[in-house]
Amino acid sequence: MKRAIILVLAMAALGGAAASAEGVSTATRPVNVVTVGCDQIIGTAKTGHDAGYRVVLGVVSAPPAALPGVVHVPEFSPFPYWRKAGMVIRASRKPVTVSVPKAWRRRVRIGWGNPASPASVVRFAACPSPRTWNGYAGGFFLRAHSACVPLAFAVGGRRATLRFGLGQHC
């Protein structure tokens, strides 16, 4: 009897999932969001201004504006070009979101953490610790060898956009 009830409940759940999937428009694709946890920190820094990095919104240390050295990695297809560029986030109690604008999502993906999974949106979990900047490995995945890519940064209710010249100047 228990087995029959479990089977009926499982079939109902599958049917509900199928029905809700049919109701989703194929014109609206879900946004690929990756959350990077505190366990993905690869190092710390005392400041957010090292190596030409730019501090945005007071809590993000973003890579420099010009990033030459894009490499071809066929295994990353359909985004076979890669530019390594770490991201540094000030330790705080607020998560940080970095996103590719909708108009660019067919041309670029971003990824930080280990592994750096290609995504349209990367959310860095809040990692509170005293007076430190947390470093994350990762970078940009591109369809073409170069691009002038905008990224949107959000912390709390504040937002800012920075451009990154990947293999070219913006």
For the cut 60, the answer to whether the pLDDT of residue 15 exceeds it is: no
| Confidence tier at 29 by pLDDT (50, 70, 90) | low
Please compute the mean of the pLDDT values over residues 63-91 and round it to a whole number: 97
Q: How many other CB atoms are there within 10 angstroms of residue 58's CB atom? A: 10
- Residue 44 to residue 152: CA distance in whole angstroms: 23
* CB-based burial, 116-154: b 16+ in 10 Å, e otherwise: bbbbbbbbbeebeeeebbbbbbbbbbbeeebbebbbebb
Q: How many other CB atoms are there within 10 angstroms of residue 109's CB atom? A: 25
For the cut 70, the answer to whether the pLDDT of residue 150 exceeds it is: yes
> What pLDDT sits at residue 158?
97
- pLDDT tens digits, one per residue of 103-122: 999 999 999 999 899 999 99
Domains assigned to the chain: 28-166 (2.60.40)
> What pLDDT sits at residue 87?
98
> What pLDDT sits at residue 98?
98
Please compute the mean of the pLDDT values over residues 80-89 and round it to a whole number: 98
User: The pTM is what?
Assistant: 0.81
Please compute the mean of the pLDDT values over residues 3-29 and round it to a whole number: 35
Q: What percent of the chain has pLDDT over 70?
A: 82
